Amino acid sequence: MEESNELHSEENKTSQDNNKKRKLKTPAQLMALEKFYNEHKYPTEEMKSQVAEQLGLSEKQISGWFCHRRLKDKRLSRDETCANGRQDRSSGVIQDRASGLGQDSCGSTKHGDHRYVDPREVESRRLSGHDFPAADITREYRSHYTERVGGMDNTSSESSSSLQDRFFTQNEDPYDVETSRYLAHNGVFSPINPRGTENMAYKPAGYLKVKGEAENAAITAVKRQLGRHYQEDGPPLGVEFDLLPPGAFESPIMDSVHEPSIVGNPVLRSPDISGVKGQLSPRTRYEVYNSKFSSQDSYIQQENPCIMHGFDLQEKKSSKKLRQKSTYINHTNSSPGKNSSLDIYDKSVGGTSAYNTNRKDKMRSKRGYSGRKVTSEQTEPCLHEYDRVSSPKLVQRSDYLKPKPSSSIENLDGECKAMKVYSNPIRVMMNSTDEMVVAKQARVNLPQRDYSTNSFPQLPPRKNQIKGTAMEMPSSFSEDETAETNSSVD
């Protein structure tokens, strides 16, 4: 009797604890939430309830999550603003932008920015189908807005909303830092810097059309500094590197014929990066998925690991000891095309942990994609649930761009589903001894589905090294890659 009472009390206690203790969202939930967040930063009650129902969460949780997510974005944005301020002072490259825009100082935490537009207004305008010039959009919501444009017009698209982030977010304005950094660094990275390229050189005409005069001034300033190195379009800036010594990045495995783009970057061959070889924890998988889904073409990631900037990797090594915040900033800097959010994703996821990628990277390198533990109970129910959800809807990804709340919510179904569907090709690619061949095969086998534009148009900018790089890929890069593949075949 006493035992049963104890048992009951134990159960009660456990249930109470369960109620009391916070529960981590499952990767699938997070993914869906991030995705939905990229669509609607201020969801309506109806949307919230639908999301809650779909994800098996309470509306309160959803509301809270969105609230915190917005705070997170804001915080990241603030951090980045601070970083930008420092960068401005040190480099002076973007000085006139800062001055021209009256950018917030680090101390300013409120969105008192004169460019600030009530996000709800933005949202409501979006929902009501009223477009407005992107120049009028706050930096926070630029990504939000451009996501719509992105699917149709690459001119000002950001490879992620965010994120993060960013990943991952996400909605910061890292390109101040990034452009100055990258362009000052050398122009070579411009082509692989979606934001930088978009904003600065890649498609400046389109950008200038969209962004407005204030940022135009910044661009002009950078142009001036770059002088003759700056090119409106075409090949990278006229910076040349010394040739690498023969065999400098020799890869014992790689077939230079099959993998021309990888040869130069042995790091990318490391199991850490292609950690899918190992058994991924659900969460890690989630990040990988994010990285892949966030990219314009997930296969690019495999076939163009060169997008993993060399100095990105170096930076990672040199800044291992950096704290979280600086890590985030560094990562942002080294992943210019990102909205940090989700990002970044990101944010980083992010996004979720959009900005602790260095930590995770370290972890991955040490533990081989261990990541946070996510129990199977946590992940599988949702995944299964999403698996159960049949998905004619999945194919209807075009609905995603519609302002209808339901459409976006429907996409939540596809999120998990797509995760599962997408995992196989990835694994095949990564497990194969000749990954590139298999990857190309997989790519050929999955041509119908436009993952980049429809399935995962706006994923949190996860500031993961992988996603950070992959997601930054301008669309043209995939074209280049295609061309390269073709040429290699030739």
In the complex with DNA, which residue's Cβ is closer, 34 or 198?
34
Chain centroid to CA 451: 14
In the complex with DNA, which residue's Cβ is closer, 74 or 258?
74
Q: In the beta sheet, which residues pair with residue 168? A: 344, 345
For residue 418 the two structure tokens come to 């797509």
Q: Comparing C-alpha atoms, which of 447, 452, 407 is closest to residue 294? A: 452
Using the rule CB under 7 A, is 366 a contact of DNA?
yes
| CA atoms of 130 and 485, how far apart (whole Å) | 42
CB of 355 to DNA, least distance (A): 5
Using the rule CB under 7 A, is 120 a contact of DNA?
yes
In the complex with DNA, which residue's Cβ is closer, 223 or 372?
372
Using the rule CB under 7 A, is 353 a contact of DNA?
yes
The CA R_g of the chain, rounded to the nearest whole Å, is 22
Region from 67-75, 129-137, 172-180, 299-307 binding DNA, contact rule CB under 7 A: 67-75
In the complex with DNA, which residue's Cβ is closer, 110 or 228?
110
Region from 59-67, 155-163, 182-190, 193-201 binding DNA, contact rule CB under 7 A: 59-67
Q: What is the largest CA-CA distance in the chain?
A: 87
Using the rule CB under 7 A, is 60 a contact of DNA?
yes
Region from 145-153, 226-234, 323-331, 479-487 binding DNA, contact rule CB under 7 A: 323-331
| CA atoms of 466 and 308, how far apart (whole Å) | 7
Among 356, 379, 411, 469, which residue sits at the site for DNA (rule: CB under 7 A)? 356
Among 65, 202, 386, 477, which residue sits at the site for DNA (rule: CB under 7 A)? 65
Q: Evaluate the CA torsion angle 314, 318, 320, 325 in order and state its sign.
A: negative
Centre a 10 Å sphere on the Cβ of residue 317 and count the other Cβ atoms it contains: 9
Among 185, 229, 258, 325, which residue sits at the site for DNA (rule: CB under 7 A)? 325
For residue 236 the two structure tokens come to 């990278």
Q: Evaluate the CA torsion angle 398, 402, 407, 408 in order and state its sign.
A: positive
CB of 468 to DNA, least distance (A): 15
In the complex with DNA, which residue's Cβ is closer, 116 or 311?
116
CB of 242 to DNA, least distance (A): 33
If you search the block for the tokens 């930096």, which residue do you land on?
A: 139
Q: In the beta sheet, which residues pair with residue 314? A: none
Backbone phi and psi for residue 311, each to the nearest 5 degrees, phi listed first: -75, -20
Using the rule CB under 7 A, is 338 a contact of DNA?
no
CB of 411 to DNA, least distance (A): 19
Backbone phi and psi for residue 97, each to the nearest 5 degrees, phi listed first: -70, -45
Contacts (CB under 7 A) with DNA, residues 82-101: none
Region from 204-212, 324-332, 409-417, 434-442 binding DNA, contact rule CB under 7 A: 324-332
CB of 332 to DNA, least distance (A): 12
| CA atoms of 450 and 459, how far apart (whole Å) | 15
| CA atoms of 484 and 486, how far apart (whole Å) | 5
Using the rule CB under 7 A, is 349 a contact of DNA?
yes
Region from 57-65, 302-310, 311-319, 380-388 binding DNA, contact rule CB under 7 A: 57-65
| CA atoms of 93 and 373, how far apart (whole Å) | 43
Position 49: which residue type? S
Among 229, 359, 420, 427, which residue sits at the site for DNA (rule: CB under 7 A)? 359
CB of 145 to DNA, least distance (A): 16
Using the rule CB under 7 A, is 42 a contact of DNA?
yes
In the complex with DNA, which residue's Cβ is closer, 79 or 198?
79
Using the rule CB under 7 A, is 352 a contact of DNA?
yes
Chain centroid to CA 51: 22
User: Total residues at the site for DNA (CB under 7 A)?
Assistant: 52
Using the rule CB under 7 A, is 170 a contact of DNA?
no
Region from 188-196, 262-270, 368-376, 402-410 binding DNA, contact rule CB under 7 A: 368-376
Q: In the beta sheet, which residues pair with residue 164? A: 341
For residue 215 the two structure tokens come to 């940022």
For residue 275 the two structure tokens come to 């950690």
- DSSP string covering 402-436, please? SS-HHHHHHHHHHHHHHHHHHHHHHHHHHHSSSHH
Using the rule CB under 7 A, is 351 a contact of DNA?
yes
Q: Comparing C-alpha atoms, which of 52, 112, 49, 104 is closest to residue 79? A: 104
Could you list the residues that contact DNA (CB under 7 A)? 21-25, 30, 42-43, 45, 60-61, 63-68, 70-72, 74, 109-111, 119-120, 283, 320, 323-325, 327-328, 349-356, 359-360, 362-363, 366-367, 370-374
